[in-house]
Amino acid sequence: MRTVFSYLLPYKWAAGIAFIFMLLELTVELIQPLLLARIIDDGILQEDLTTVVVWGSIMIGLSLLAFIAGILNSFYAGHAGQSTGFDLRNAMFKNIQRSSLDKLQPFATSSLMTRLTNDITQIQNTIFMGLRIMARAPLLVLGGAIMAFIINARLAFFLIITIPILILFLLWILKKGVHIFSLVQSQVDRVNHVVRENLTGIRLVRVFVRRLHEIERFFAESDALRHRMVQAFRLMELTMPILLLLMNGSILLVLWFGSFQIENETAQVGDVVAIVNYATRITSALGVFAMIIMVFSRARASALRIEEVLLEPDDELSESVNHPAPPTLKGELTFESVSFSYEGQKTDVLKEISFTVKPGETVAVLGETGSGKTSLFQLIPKLYEADKGEIKIDNTSIKEWNIQMVRKQLGYVPQSIRLFSGTIRENISWGVPDAPIEDVHFAAKVAQIHETIEKLPDGYDTKVGQQGVNLSGGQKQRISIARALLREPKILLLDDSTSALDTKTEERFLKALEQYSCTTLIITQKLSTARKADKILLLEYGQIEGYGSHEHLMEKSTFYRKIYHSQYGKEG
Ligand code: GTP
Ligand code: MG
């Protein structure tokens, strides 16, 4: 709880002012029964109209004061709550941006999204309610009890014995509530997860006629959420009847013994009325308590979930700070017995990988699906860190360099293409926002997409993404290649990026690519592509099965020959 609420500190003034106005409201509320007692005893029972008018006017004046204090309290409480949530959300987002992928692996995307939205809202509500009523309720209970004690200690005794019992009971509810609400929040995660999966895969759902199945799946999770919520509310609803039973019992006792005291004149009518009045106020305050407990248990569950993300150390960048930036790279790439496994996995995805690529060379990475090609690529920009061995660029381990600076000289086209909402031009110049249009055109020409873009209604200013045109997979792939090229990378990583290009276009692309004279690693399934590279790196089950020219592999590797014959036929 501490970390999340430390975000309230910058707004301690607003919170403080809200608190003071809350105290003002509370004081008025506590004085009211006292004034009521005066009106009854000195005014009505003495038949003195002036006293009634005077005390009555004071009561109205104070009510007005409380009303204004209430409005101002809301204003400042709202400010403190919303601002804290705003800061928390930003901090969380920043943390996610800075965390290494390994650290983020345990969190589902949908869970991070729930944490950033729903969980933050819970915290905002709690701070608001806290400054508005949360502190008021216990203070009202305490203040009411004290005031009742001052008026008539013997009668107040009946109030005071029930309150501790009630508080213990409420604490027990709180403990149970935190648990149930953490279940509620993770169920919210699951509902979001199903929605997200469904919406991102909506085409697949239609084609596979899985609509009903998806509806059922959603219904099941949604129903589970309802069930959890009902469970939580049942627990909370338990509080009111028990509360009323105990409090009404003690009010009855006050009335019963009060009537005796009035008879033998040890108490006045006004006193008894005032104490009963305090008792009802305390009862309603305790009722508010029950609601507060619900909000608080939910906030506590949310705070824990937020902290899980907040406490992630931002290791990826802070580590880089003290390392020097590399000069303009030549683009030599070396792997020295590199082994790697994903977080929480026992078997190595890559085993003892060693190879060298000279500056300007093109290497085709070939291997069956799941052989570790993408994993190998992801190690180069240090998206993941190798467990063993060294990856060197220009003969220096990438651990020793400021990784952001290294990344600036890398071009990466991932296997699953992602365009951002915006124009095509914005998408291509995403890594170099101020690139001149000529450079953008040049990169697009090399990527063999320039002509296609020119033919679109708005050319380079055509919008893509949710509000724009839908591009074909191959078109997106090529825009993505242009995006990587615009950075004039020293090392270019193409993960299956030419799969959608026909042989002729691919040939033209590879030829044009020579103008960038960068070291190129290109993952491909096609031998026709691989053969055009200077060297071929053959991966099998995360190990290097062969490395060298086509002729070299034909001679040395039975595995390579097998692929060759399967793609070209025996006579090939
Ligand atoms: P294709 O792209 O299908 O040709 O395969 P690939 O050669 O690129 O394989 P990749 O490197 O993606 O995967 C190698 C192995 O790592 C597979 O067994 C995957 O199950 C595993 N793997 C890939 N990505 C992840 C990941 O993010 N987390 C975990 N835990 N395992 C992964
Ligand atoms: Mg892959």
pLDDT, tens digit, 9 for 90 and up, residues 253-303: 888 988 888 888 888 888 888 888 888 888 888 888 777 777 887 888 889
Task: Output the residue whose Cα is nearest ligand 1's atom 32.
Answer: 342
The three-point CA angle 231-129-135 to 5° equals 105
- pLDDT the model gives residue 276: 87
Q: Let me know: does 291 contact 372? Beta carbons within 8 Å.
A: no
- pLDDT the model gives residue 63: 92
pTM of the prediction?
0.75
* Same domain (yes/no): 395, 302: no
- pLDDT the model gives residue 438: 94
Atom of ligand 1 nearest to the CA of 542: 14
Q: Let me know: does 469 contact 385? Beta carbons within 8 Å.
A: no
Helices marked H in 44-119 — which ranges?
Answer: 49-98, 101-104, 109-114
Residue carrying structure tokens 């002509």: 451
For residue 163, what are the domain limits? Answer: 2-313
Boundary-marking domain end, from 261, 283, 313: 313
* Same domain (yes/no): 219, 279: yes
DSSP 8-state secondary structure symbol assigned to residue 435: -
- pLDDT the model gives residue 547: 94
Average pLDDT over residues 59-76: 93
Q: Which residues are paired to 203 by β-bridges?
A: none
Q: How far is CA 314 from the centre of its chain?
A: 15
Ligand nearest to the CA of 495: 2
User: Domain for residue 318, yes or no?
Assistant: no
Average pLDDT over residues 54-69: 92
pLDDT interval class at 543 (50, 70, 90)? very high
User: Domain for residue 325, yes or no?
Assistant: no
| Domain CATH code at residue 134 | 1.20.1560.10
Q: How far is CA 189 from the centre of its chain?
A: 11
User: Domain for residue 326, yes or no?
Assistant: no
User: Measured between alpha carbons, how far is residue 555 from residues 362, 371, 551 in Å?
Assistant: 21, 22, 6
* Same domain (yes/no): 391, 258: no
- pLDDT the model gives residue 404: 84
- pLDDT the model gives residue 196: 86
pLDDT interval class at 316 (50, 70, 90)? low
Region label for 569, one of left (φ > 0), alpha (ψ between -120 and 50) or beta (otherwise): left
* Same domain (yes/no): 301, 342: no
Average pLDDT over residues 202-231: 91
Rounded-to-integer distance, Cα 190 and Cα 340, Å: 31
Rounded-to-integer distance, Cα 5 and Cα 8, Å: 5
Could you read off the pLDDT of 7-24 as tens digits, one per residue?
999 999 999 999 999 999
* Contacts of residue 227, Cβ cutoff 8 Å, sequence gap at least 6: none
Probe target for ligand 1 pocket from 351, 371, 376, 417, with the most ligand atoms within 8 Å of CB = 371
> Is there an atom of ligand 1 within 6 Å of 43 CB?
no
Mean pLDDT for the chain?
88
Ligand nearest to the CA of 372: 1
- pLDDT the model gives residue 499: 83
Residue carrying structure tokens 């240090």: 382
Q: What are phi and psi of 522, to 5 degrees?
A: -130, 115
Atom of ligand 1 nearest to the CA of 376: 11
Nearest C-alpha neighbor of 283 from the set 326, 239, 314: 239
Nearest C-alpha neighbor of 425 from the set 398, 406, 443: 443
* Same domain (yes/no): 140, 184: yes
Could you read off the pLDDT of 466-492 as tens digits, one per residue?
666 778 888 899 999 999 999 999 999
Q: How many domains does the chain have?
A: 2
- pLDDT the model gives residue 519: 95
Rounded-to-integer distance, Cα 112 and Cα 310, Å: 11
Boundary-marking domain end, from 313, 344, 373: 313
User: Domain for residue 226, yes or no?
Assistant: yes
| Domain CATH code at residue 546 | 3.40.50.300
Residue 380 CA to ligand 2 center (angstroms) comes to 14
Residue 371 CA to ligand 1 center (angstroms) comes to 7
Residue carrying structure tokens 């360099």: 401
Ligand nearest to the CA of 371: 1
Could you read off the pLDDT of 411-436 as tens digits, one per residue?
999 988 888 888 999 999 998 989 99
Rounded-to-integer distance, Cα 389 and Cα 87, Å: 41
- pLDDT the model gives residue 504: 87
* Same domain (yes/no): 51, 159: yes
* Same domain (yes/no): 227, 277: yes
User: Domain for residue 380, yes or no?
Assistant: yes
Q: Let me know: does 396 contact 326? Beta carbons within 8 Å.
A: yes
Amino acid letter for position 90: N
Rounded-to-integer distance, Cα 468 and Cα 424, Å: 10
Q: What are phi and psi of 135, to 5 degrees?
A: -75, -25
Residue 480 CA to ligand 1 center (angstroms) comes to 21
* Same domain (yes/no): 344, 209: no
Rounded-to-integer distance, Cα 50 and Cα 39, Å: 10
pLDDT interval class at 439 (50, 70, 90)? very high
* Same domain (yes/no): 277, 401: no
Rounded-to-integer distance, Cα 496 and Cα 475, Å: 14
Residue 55 CA to ligand 1 center (angstroms) comes to 80
User: Domain for residue 320, yes or no?
Assistant: no
* Same domain (yes/no): 282, 368: no
* Same domain (yes/no): 248, 344: no
User: Which pair of tokens denotes residue 208?
Assistant: 């596979």
Other C-beta atoms lying within 10 Å of the C-beta of residue 337: 12
> Is there an atom of ligand 1 within 6 Å of 298 CB?
no
> Is there an atom of ligand 1 within 6 Å of 372 CB?
yes
User: Domain for residue 323, yes or no?
Assistant: no
Q: Let me know: does 305 contact 467? Beta carbons within 8 Å.
A: no
Task: Output the residue whose Cα is nearest ligand 1's atom 23.
Answer: 375
Look at 126-140, 372-386, 511-525 and tell me which has the smallest mean pLDDT.
126-140
Expressed in angstroms, the distance from the first to the final Cα of the chain is 68
Could you read off the pLDDT of 138-192 as tens digits, one per residue?
888 888 888 888 888 888 888 888 888 888 888 888 888 888 888 998 898 899 8
* Same domain (yes/no): 110, 11: yes
Helices marked H in 456-557 — which ranges?
Answer: 473-486, 503-513, 527-532, 550-556
Average pLDDT over residues 360-375: 93
Boundary-marking domain end, from 313, 342, 376: 313
pLDDT at residue 571 tops 60? no
- pLDDT the model gives residue 317: 60
User: Measured between alpha carbons, how far is residue 494 from residues 136, 208, 409, 427, 449 in Å?
Assistant: 62, 31, 14, 17, 16
User: Domain for residue 324, yes or no?
Assistant: no
User: Which pair of tokens denotes residue 228?
Assistant: 């959890």
Task: Output the residue whose Cα is nearest ligand 1's atom 11.
Answer: 372
> Is there an atom of ligand 1 within 6 Å of 541 CB?
no
Q: Let me know: does 388 contact 418? Beta carbons within 8 Å.
A: no
